[in-house]
Amino acid sequence: MFFRKRPKQLNKINYETKESSILELLEKAKQSSDFETFSPVEKNAFLSISYYKTLVDMDLFNRIFLKNLKEKLASIKNLADLKSIVPIDSILITQDVKEVEKGLYHGAAVIHLHNNLQECALVGLSDPRLGKREVNETENEFSVIGPKIGFIEDLSTNLHLLRSQLITSDLIFEEFEVGTRSKTKVVVAHLSGVTNPDYVQTARQRIQDLDIDVLYDNSQLEELISDYSTTPFPLFINTERVDRTIYSLIRGNVVILTDNSCYALIGPAALMNFFSTPEDFYLPWVVASFFRIIRIFGMLFSIFVTSFYVAILTYHFEIVPKDLLGPIIFSRANVPFPPVVEVLFLEITIELLREAGARLPTKIGQTLGIVGGIVIGQATVQAALTSNILLILVALGALSSFTTPIYKMSNTVRLLRYPFILLAAIWGGFGIYIGVIFLVTHLLRLKSLGSPYLLPLSPYRKGGLSNTFIRKNDFHKEKRNKFLRALSRKRFNPITNKDPEEGLNSE
């Protein structure tokens, strides 16, 4: 803030080596052991085929491509003849080196005639499903009721999953290439006529302006295109569930999918969206609303429970009634530490257990949970390192942090506890309130794809309370929420009950 920002110089240097001719390209590719060049005929070889063994579907290559080529080899005079010989639709004849390079890496075989080295044909033989998993059950966002289909690490499958559920030509996929070395495909999906074009334009612009070498995963893209990168809060919803993605598209969100990533990014996201799950829509709305309120309560409880414990036991023990003070004093009588050390000790223990459980294979992780939870907890209390009551509070706090459906948000909730504990240790309840106001201001500053993060609560929009804290009856959801600024607000016409008033069952 005190230093003037230097204008950034955008340099358009390419970080890769460039080949100038097709022959050079092929020569360089030959350094790799998985690259192969051969000629289908022994004598008078007039053409050769080059390809990466690791990228090409060998079945297709041997049984269809090579078989047909060898049968009618004699009739080939120039490259254009290939189109009538090989029964594969994606054949491209080009002189462009870049085109050839891209084709090679996308699993095409390059054919060139020896008398014309400038031109070559690209035959698409790629196997996009090579090395990809088949199982697409949602693992991290589990729901008891409802479909369990999730995205997998293959873009075309993911797009298929979306396309097969939304049978409309309004569903638009825009494809971009990100990464100078990885050339990862990124797709921005939206419903035309519904999604506000501003959001689409913002997403498009940010993806196009990216300069990065390799894109590993969608969550990396999330950080790169988010409005503020120095925040613990996720500014996009990161989901692997297809139904959630479809629902967001219908509401008027933008969805970003990346090749090699089984997560979809949904934006613009608001803080309270992170506390709803697709299952809310499969349960009766009364029950679902109750669960949603429980989740929001769980988030607040998890953030504040231990910091209030520290604040009360360090500074404000007067506010505890006499009858309650007795048990607390008894359980803490033998503990030699101040409350903050005690709390940090237990909180970090829980955090270690969680981290170890996440890194270990499932079966060992479960055993570890039992060992950690029961044995360590019981032993620390008996060894008088912590009090019984604190153990209950910390365990409850950890438990309630896991009720947040989106994994990234539940991480944030867990992280937020520590600043509050420290503030409570230094300034008691006043410190906690200072922290709360910092948090509120921070949330007010955040934006996701240019739309405020606390919407629809602040700035308050009509229906903000009912949309946030309860799941509305489906018949009352015929209009889209105003705060996403969708182009059309009408979703459907709710039908009224047409059952005859006096049927057989009524008396």
Partner 1 sequence: MQSAVKENSMVSPYFLFFLIHGSQVGISVLNFQSRISKGAGQDAWVSVLAVGLSLNLIFFMMLHIMKHASNGDIISFHTDTFGKWIGGLLNLAMTFTFLVAGLLVSHSFIELLQVWVFDGIPSWEFALLICLLSYYIVSGGFRILAGISFWGVVIPSFLMLSSLYLFHYREVSYLMPIFNHGITEYFISAKASATMFFGFETALVYFPFIKNGSRATKWGHFGLLCTTLVYVVITLVTFMFFTQGKLKILTWPTLTMIKIIAFPFLERFEFIFIFTWLFVILPVICIYLWSAVRTVKLTFPKLKPTYVLFFFICCYFFYSSILEDIYYTKLLINMIRYNGFIFLFGYIPLLFIISLMKVLIKNRKQQSNS
Could you tell me the smallest distance in angstroms from the CB atom of residue 466 to partner 1? 16
The residue among 51 and 308 lying less far from partner 1, judged by its C-beta, is 308
The residue among 460 and 475 lying less far from partner 1, judged by its C-beta, is 460
The residue among 256 and 432 lying less far from partner 1, judged by its C-beta, is 432
Could you tell me the smallest distance in angstroms from the CB atom of residue 181 to partner 1? 37
Apex 416 CA angle, 410 and 301, nearest 5: 70
The residue among 207 and 432 lying less far from partner 1, judged by its C-beta, is 432
Residue type, 423: L
Euclidean distance between CA atoms 261 and 151, whole angstroms: 8
Residue type, 88: I
The residue among 263 and 453 lying less far from partner 1, judged by its C-beta, is 453
Could you tell me the smallest distance in angstroms from the CB atom of residue 460 to partner 1? 7
Contact predicate 319/286, CB 8 Å: no
**Is 113 exposed, middle or buried, given 0-12, 13-18 or 19+ CB atoms closer than 10 A?**
middle
For helices 388-401 and 285-314, the axis angle rounded to 10 degrees is 140
The alpha carbon of residue 345 and the mean position of all alpha carbons in its chain are separated, in whole angstroms, by: 32
The residue among 4 and 363 lying less far from partner 1, judged by its C-beta, is 4
Contact predicate 333/313, CB 8 Å: no
The residue among 398 and 432 lying less far from partner 1, judged by its C-beta, is 432
Task: Pull the structure tokens for residue 229.
Answer: 């990168």
Euclidean distance between CA atoms 58 and 60, whole angstroms: 5
Local structure of 237: helix, strand or coil? strand
Could you tell me the smallest distance in angstroms from the CB atom of residue 394 to partner 1? 19
Could you tell me the smallest distance in angstroms from the CB atom of residue 452 to partner 1? 8
Could you tell me the smallest distance in angstroms from the CB atom of residue 421 to partner 1? 17
Euclidean distance between CA atoms 104 and 26, whole angstroms: 10
The residue among 186 and 446 lying less far from partner 1, judged by its C-beta, is 446
Contact residues for partner 1 (CB under 8 A)?
1-2, 315-316, 318-322, 324, 427-434, 437-438, 440-441, 444-445, 454, 458-460
Among 421, 391, 396, 374, residue whose Cα is nearest residue 331: 391
Could you tell me the smallest distance in angstroms from the CB atom of residue 2 to partner 1? 8
Could you tell me the smallest distance in angstroms from the CB atom of residue 326 to partner 1? 13
Euclidean distance between CA atoms 315 and 301, whole angstroms: 20
The sign one gets for the Cα dihedral 222, 227, 229, 230 is negative
